[in-house]
Structure 1
Amino acid sequence: MSQNFGRESPRAHSQTSHRKPARYLVVIGAGGFTLARLFLETRELVAEFDAGTEEAAQMTAGLAPSKGADAPEWDRALEGHSAAERLAADVYTLAL
């Protein structure tokens, strides 16, 4: 039998800064699949998931996408995608 009674006291909460919110959602084709990629305002990738999920639909509800992610600011962020994939991509600007 254990000689410990009760539970350990919770540790003090550390005050750390939160992650920055995602600013862009790019829906792009990739080898026969459609991906949703979340980017910060700096075009840094923070998440990637299947664009067919309910979450992707909820994020884009009521938003009108801009067509194509072929502008120079997307070059580094989407360097693994072909020019045709980037041209066909939908870019959603999310509310902060």
Structure 2
Amino acid sequence: MNHGFGMEAHGSHPTGEHRKPARYLLLIDAGGSTVARLFTDTFVPVGEFDAGSEEVAVMTQHLKPAAGADAPAWDNALEGHSPAERAAAVVYTLDV
């Protein structure tokens, strides 16, 4: 007998594979403001947010950045950015 009391039990969780973790954090100018973009190890974008956020400081603590994202590996991932923006970008390799 059900009188509508209680909460419905959760359904089963999906059993598919999880998304790959972010491997690179890229700080790049995008039309006059700096954004932080996250990429997997195969340069697939997985997130973008304001580079001035506290999360950037936390993620980059104790990491040494590499200058520029103008290597050919970044071509597809950054096709919307100019060569100057890519050259001025800062790339962090995250500890995963």
Tell me, yes or no, whether TM beats 0.5. yes
Matched AA of 2:35: L
Unpaired segments ≥5 residues, structure 1: none
Report the aligned-residue RMSD: 1.5
Unpaired segments ≥5 residues, structure 2: none
1:23 CA displacement: 0.4
Matched AA of 2:43: R
Give the TM-score taking structure 2 as reference length.
Answer: 0.90
Q: How many angstroms apart in 1 are the aligned matches of 2:69 and 2:30?
A: 14
Matched AA of 1:18: H
Matched AA of 1:23: R
Q: Aligned residue for 1:28?
A: 28
Identity fraction in percent: 61
1:92 CA displacement: 0.3
Q: How many angstroms apart in 1 are the aligned matches of 2:39 and 2:93?
A: 10
Q: Aligned residue for 1:19?
A: 19
Q: Aligned residue for 1:65?
A: 65
1:20 CA displacement: 1.1
1:13 CA displacement: 3.6
Q: How many angstroms apart in 1 are the aligned matches of 2:60 and 2:70?
A: 20
